[in-house]
Amino acid sequence: MIGIWGAHAQTYLIVLMVTTTSVFALPIFLTPLAWARVFLWKIPQEQHLTVYFGRCLGAFILIAEALMLRAGLYGTGIEFTFQVLLAIAASMVVVHVWGAVAKIQPITETIETGMYSGMFVLTLLFYPT
């Protein structure tokens, strides 16, 4: 199962990078509160810390996006990039399950658990061989 579509690893990275950059990385980095409202979060009165953490998260997502772009275009560090993506997907499943169990997140975040689980499986399927 692992790497069954490995011949298309670079294409997968480019598609994933374009999607996650436009839906998550840039919106969270540039306008974290607007992104949060779209995902049904309640915005607190004091917003500076929220904006700070949102931009920090966005910055880290952009690092992953850069890794995907480099590996997708040139093949440089492709195996490392896939390992990073697997770690991100697995840790985000834990984060979203935790939030769902604790009932501290909107339903949109709970639904993302399936997205990150799917990303984990797809990343395994496209793992370069």
Question: pLDDT, tens digit, for every residue of 3-15?
Answer: 999 999 999 999 9
- pLDDT value, residue 44: 83
Is the confidence at residue 1, as pLDDT, over 80?
A: no
Q: Is the pLDDT of residue 48 over 80?
A: yes
Residue with the two structure tokens 């850069």: 66
pLDDT of residue 18 exceeding 80, the answer is yes
pLDDT digits (tens, 9 = 90+) for 53-96: 999 999 999 999 999 999 999 999 999 999 999 999 999 999 99
- Measuring CA to CA, which residue among 125, 5, 122, 15 is closest to residue 68? 15
Report the b/e string of 62-77 with b at 16+ CB within 10 A.
bebbebbbbbbeeeee
Report the C-alpha gap between 63 and 28 in whole angstroms. Answer: 13
Mean pLDDT across the chain, nearest whole number?
95
